């Protein structure tokens, strides 16, 4: 849809890919540059018409709905388009008409915000202008690498979100922690509460009034001072693996939020300049084909290199 200017009435037909979406969320998506307060004001006043009638903000669009949008004043555009990033196209692990699975690099945010101009989703939308729909299925921390799923159809997004809510998506991570882990298999169940620092940065703490969370850890390999764990997420809370491991006394190597900061500086000098947390695989039912599929992301080269240095050094596997 073209940008709307003042004194211009626009008409738009809802396509199949946008069916089921709330009209307020749909308008906020397509009316880039229009203040959010103004979008809700014209909705509540009845100036936005759906099939010639009024629509409440919670109305869910149907394929074929005819929208009439009133004249809207655009705010001055200041946000630049992200430059092409060939690494993202090279990072794609799987793609079909419904989904994209890619191996997100560490250091790249999944979306813009909190001081980040743009992330994976904005980047791919800019590089794939022909796609009418592209949304994140889930999120990964900026510092975490690994499998990230995106939906190219609203029906695929809805189906995968439902599967996530019902625990029908299996997500496994690899984490290198400080210390020698002893239990072959261990569950961590604690309540987590999110809060925001004055800087606007998100943090999570273990508190009784928080949300229930559960991770299962399995020991993969142990060295004198480090352990490699496989983490299976049973819930999907913000920073869950990072907080769980810090809580039990085994912070993730290189974690700049919940880790051992003095040790992190030593690790950086030894070659580990990022957090050692990688989303290694995701297993789910394909939302269209209804076949169970697993997407694996190989361990990034810098993490493989650090593991080799442990094998070759004083911290040889025990």
| CA 149/CA 135 separation, integer angstroms | 9
Q: Is 141 a catalytic residue?
A: yes
Of 65, 141, 255, 260, which one is the catalytic site residue? Answer: 141
Asked if residues 280 and 297 have their Cβ atoms less than 8 Å apart, the reply is yes
The bridge status of strand 277-285 relative to strand 145-151 is parallel
The bridge status of strand 277-285 relative to strand 292-296 is antiparallel
Asked if residues 95 and 78 have their Cβ atoms less than 8 Å apart, the reply is no
| CA 83/CA 98 separation, integer angstroms | 25
**If we measure between CA atoms, which residue out of 219, 318, 233 comes closest to residue 283?**
233
Asked if residues 278 and 146 have their Cβ atoms less than 8 Å apart, the reply is yes
What is the set of active-site residues? Answer: 141
């Amino acid at each position: 849809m073209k940008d709307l200017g003042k004194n211009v009435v626009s008409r738009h037909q809802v396509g199949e890919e946008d069916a089921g979406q709330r009209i307020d969320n749909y308008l906020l998506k397509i009316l880039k540059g229009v203040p959010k307060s103004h979008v809700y004001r014209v909705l509540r006043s009845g100036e936005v018409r759906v099939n010639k009638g009024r629509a409440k903000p919670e109305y869910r669009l149907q394929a074929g709905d005819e929208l009439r949008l009133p004249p809207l004043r655009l705010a001055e555009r200041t946000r630049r388009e992200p430059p092409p990033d060939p690494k993202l196209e090279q990072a794609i692990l799987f793609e079909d008409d419904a989904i994209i699975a890619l191996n997100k690099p560490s250091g790249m945010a999944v979306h813009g915000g909190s001081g980040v101009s743009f992330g994976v989703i904005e980047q791919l939308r800019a590089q794939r202008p022909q796609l009418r729909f592209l949304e994140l299925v889930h999120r990964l921390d900026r510092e975490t690498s690994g499998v990230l799923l995106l939906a190219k159809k609203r029906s695929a997004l809805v189906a995968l979100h439902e599967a996530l809510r019902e625990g029908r998506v299996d997500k496994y991570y690899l984490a290198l922690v400080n210390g020698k882990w002893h239990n072959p298999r261990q569950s961590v169940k604690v309540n987590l509460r999110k809060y925001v620092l004055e800087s606007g940065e998100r943090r999570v703490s273990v508190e009784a009034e928080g949300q229930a969370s559960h991770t299962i850890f399995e020991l993969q390999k142990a060295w004198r001072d480090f352990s490699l764990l496989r983490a299976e997420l049973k819930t999907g809370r913000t920073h869950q693996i990072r907080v769980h491991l810090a809580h039990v006394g085994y912070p993730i190597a290189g974690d700049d939020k919940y880790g051992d900061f003095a040790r992190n500086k030593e690790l950086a000098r030894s070659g580990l300049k990022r957090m050692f947390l990688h989303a290694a695989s995701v297993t789910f039912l394909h939302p269209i084909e209804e076949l169970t599929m697993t997407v694996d992301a190989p361990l990034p080269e810098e993490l493989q290199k650090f593991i080799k240095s442990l094998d070759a050094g004083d911290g040889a596997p025990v």
